[in-house]
Structures are given as C-alpha cells and as structure tokens.
Amino acid sequence: GDNLFANSLIALNADTGERIWHFQFVHHDVWDRDLPAPPNLFDVERDGQKIPAVAQVTKSGHVFVFDRLTGAPLFPIEEKAYPQTTLVGDTTSPSQPLPLKPKPFARQILTEEELYAPDEPAFVDDFIDHKQNEKGFTVLDRFKQVTSEGQFIPPDTLGTILYPGADGGAEWGGAAVDPRDGTMYVNSNEMAWIVRMAELGSSSSGKGLTQIHCARCHGGNLQGLGVIPELQQVRSRLTPKEIQQTMVLGKGAMPAHPNLSQEEIASISDYLSGLEVGSEEDHRVEKAGNTPYAMVGFGRFKDQRGYPVVKPPWGTLNAIDLNTGEYKWTIPLGHEEGLIDPNHPVSGTENYGGPVITAGGVLLIGATKDEKFRAFHMETGELLWQTDLPAGGYATPATYMVNGKQYIVIACGGGKMGTPSGDIYLAFSL
C-alpha cells in the first residue's frame, strides 16, 4: 500500500488531537525520500487577500505549498504515473505527487550530457561494489551500466541513479521564510547517488537477515567504510553475546533494532560469529517471512578525485517568492577547494544545515564542505562576508539578543563529508 502516514504532512487540532488534514509526499517510499526538515509557516497574498500557508521542502528538490487551515494546495499538484518495479515479489506505487510550481530547486535527471568529467575513473562512495573501481571503469562506463531516468524509478539489481541523492535536495537544515514578504530561502545538494538491490537466498536465514538489516550500512560485503566498522571480522572484536547486546541496545551511531525478535538477533549473531553451519535452510527463522531482495547499499556517485559526476554547481542557495512561485535568484553555495575551473569559478559543495535570516536583510549560513560561514544579501544573493570556521558548521545557526545587541551562533561540529570533527559553538555579533 501507500504506507500512510509515512512521508506525510499532518495537521492536527492541538486541543483535541483530531486530524484535520494530511498530505503524503511519497507513496510507498523505497528511495529514502523521508521529509528532511520541519515545514515553514507564513502568509501569502492572493488577489489582495492574506492566506495562512505552510510549505514543505523535500529531498527531491520540491516545494509544496498549502493553505495550512484546509490543506488545499496553493499551486497545482500533479499525480504523475511512474513505472512499476521489476523485482519479483515487490510492489511500488503507480504514481507520485509533484508540484507544478515552484519549479524544483534541484536538477531532476542525470543525463550523459550532464556528466562533468566522463573520462575520469569512477568511484561510488560509501557502500556499493567498491571492486568496480579496480576494473578501470570510467564515469561514463559506470553511468551506462545503470538506469538514469529521473525521479521515482524503482531500484533494481543493476543499479539506478537517485538524483538528487538520499541527502537531497533539501536536507536537515530545511528552509527559512521571510514572514514580511513570503520569500523562501533554501539550500540544496546536487549529488547523484546509485541505489542497488541484491537477490537473497533464504531471507529468513542468518545470512539473509544480515543482508536485509546490516548490509545497507555496513556494505554489501560487510566491508564497512570510514566510521562505520566492517563486520567481516567482527567475531575477533565481539563475542556473540556482545553482538546481540549491540543490536538490542544500539551503540554510537548504530540504532537499536526493536523490530527484530530475539531469535532473529541470535541468528544474525550466529552468522557474524561463524557459528551458522549447514545450509541456509537449516537456519530459517519462522517470524522472518520471505524477503527475496534487499538493498545492499547506496552511495554517492563520484569520480576518483572525489568530485561529483554531475556538472557544477554541486550545492546551491535559492530565493523563491512563494506568493508567485517564481525564483528571485539562485547562486552556487560553497566551493570545492582545489578545483580550478574557469567555467565554474564557484563550484558549490554538498551542504548540511540551513539558513537564518534577519530583519536587516541578511542571510547567514554555514553548511558547506569548505567549512566557511557566509552572509548574503537577501534581496540579491550577493555575498557580503565570509569567514573560516574551526570545523564545519553543519547546523542551522541561531540568533539571539543580549542588552539590545543581536548575535548569531553556529555549532561547529564538523565530521561530515570527510572533514574533521569539532566541538565549538562560535558566536558573531551583528
């Protein structure tokens, strides 16, 4: 089914809890298209009348705008048909909703013409088939091996392009809206990812359960990456009891798995500890059911220099008039240090963390991979000022006032996109 109320905006009566209206942005989500950030509340003007509105930004790079009292769309929304999955035993929704206005703030399909450096060696960052890199595939080679047909194309065993990627489009920082004129300011990622499924043997064996519940983070071959540890030799670090305890309670960035039964957890632990002997059929878990396919990972599609395979900009900042649905301006946000390209003097970068806006007409944002903090003119998008942070500011700034003086503070936690971690809050006066 559609998995209502996942991926949904829901309006409740705060006094009674009664549901007034709802809207689902993705039906039966198999693309990790959860809503990345809270909605924005503001007023728009239509025919001289003020309408209380709510806007929701999405990972796919769309802005949906509604009358927040009734749920009526303030711009037309099309329920568009999409192809169905070819994976036996799986189902996908026959259609998905897309707003006809504003136009998307992120590109929607990766074509061969959009490849930045097609002859560079390919690299799929994170968890998908790292051995492909050893075969000398170029970006163009790899692109031709997978499906790239735009939004909401069902994943398959060869690989499909997810563009924008699993981290947007919009990300956790969300958008800012000026309550005085209804202008939205939203930053966006422009990174293609590859999603790949794999056919399982017995999905109710320890091996099958591990592929379903562990491979999506630890890799298809459980090889791990960066801060996510490998599980191939986990038996040398943890006892079976410790593995089970970690799955039950979670640890660090790893969540607990309350959805798994004790029998399923024990089966995974036995497999990782090398205690599962005999055929997969000998180790079936009754509760597990039949899951013929599992996502074995998804990853950023880059070249081996670490640059996204798409043409710049790789991150943008956008100003959208939500009264009309028209863009005021779009600029690259951030710069990939080391890239010298006269066609792209400002490349934009991946970015995590949203903007804050002031009554004085200044927008402030960190977010970028180059670990800078920037101020922009809200009306024009002109860069007014920038400075280096002690670590990446991958958070939305906060503003406050003390003794009549306004300050902006940002958390410099770093740790994303290969940048160093930090533990500093940095405040600036305006």
**CATH number of the domain within which 232 lies:** 1.10.760.10
What are the residues whose beta carbons fall under 8 Å from the beta carbon of 287, sequence distance 6 or more?
Answer: 261, 263, 264
Tokens of 24: 């689902």
Residues 6+ apart with CB under 8 A from 82: 92, 93, 94, 95, 96, 151, 152, 153, 154
Same domain, 173 and 249: no
CB 363 within 8 A of CB 323: no
- Residue 273 neighbours by CB under 8 Å, 6+ apart: 234, 235, 239, 240, 243
Indicate whether 416 belongs to any domain: no
Assigned domain for 381 exists: no
Parallel/antiparallel/unpaired status of strands 315-321 and 183-189: antiparallel
pLDDT confidence tier of residue 203, bands split at 50, 70 and 90: low
Same domain for 234 and 321? no
Length of the chain: 430
The answer as to whether 20 is a domain residue is yes
Q: State the Cα–Cα distance between residues 341 and 420, nearest whole angstrom.
A: 26
Contact 72, 79 (CB under 8 A): no
Residue 204: which pLDDT band, with cuts at 50, 70 and 90? low
* Distances from the Cα of 44 to the Cα of 153, 174, 180, 324, angstroms: 34, 19, 9, 9
Find out whether the peptide bond into 76 is cis, omega within 30 degrees of 0: no
Residue type, 145: Q
Residue 340 in domain: yes
Same domain, 317 and 254: no
Percentage of residues of the chain with pLDDT beyond 70: 92
Residue type, 230: E
Peptide bond connecting 355 to the previous residue in cis, omega within 30 degrees of 0 = no
Same-domain pairing of 57 and 133: yes
Please indicate, yes or no, whether residues 27 and 147 belong to a single structural domain of this protein. yes
Residues 133 and 152 grouped into a single domain: yes
378 domain-assigned: no
- One domain for residues 182 and 310: yes
Domain boundary among 338, 354, 370: 354
**Claim to verify: residue 34 and residue 152 sit in the same structural domain:** yes
Tens digits of per-residue pLDDT, 44-87? 998 889 999 999 999 999 999 999 999 999 999 999 999 999 99
Residue 338 counted as domain residue: yes
Q: Residue 218's pLDDT is what?
A: 85
- Considering the domain architecture, whether residues 76 and 178 belong to the same structural domain is answered as yes
Report angle CA 144, 149, 155 to the nearest 5 degrees: 85
Spatial CA neighbour of 269 closest among 205, 314, 315, 341: 205
Out of 270, 291, 312, a domain closes at 291
Phi then psi for 390, rounded to 5 degrees?
-70, -20
Total tally of structural domains belonging to the chain: 2
- Domain contains 406: no
Q: Write out pLDDT tens, residues 251-280.
A: 988 999 998 999 999 999 999 999 865 554
Question: Looking at the structure, do residues 29 and 164 belong to the same domain, yes or no?
Answer: yes
Which pLDDT belongs to residue 276?
A: 67
Question: What average pLDDT does the structure give for the chain?
Answer: 91
Look up the domain containing 225 and give its range.
Answer: 201-291
Q: Does residue 398 lie in a domain region?
A: no
Mean pLDDT calculated for residue range 26-41? 97
Note whether 253 and 328 are same-domain residues: no
| DSSP code for 32 | -
Six token digits for residue 416: 């994303």
Residues 139 and 15 in one domain: yes
pLDDT level of residue 292 (50, 70, 90 thresholds): confident
Give the pLDDT band (50/70/90) at residue 291: low
Q: pTM for this structure?
A: 0.88
Please name the residue ranges forming H helices in 220-359. Answer: 240-249, 262-272
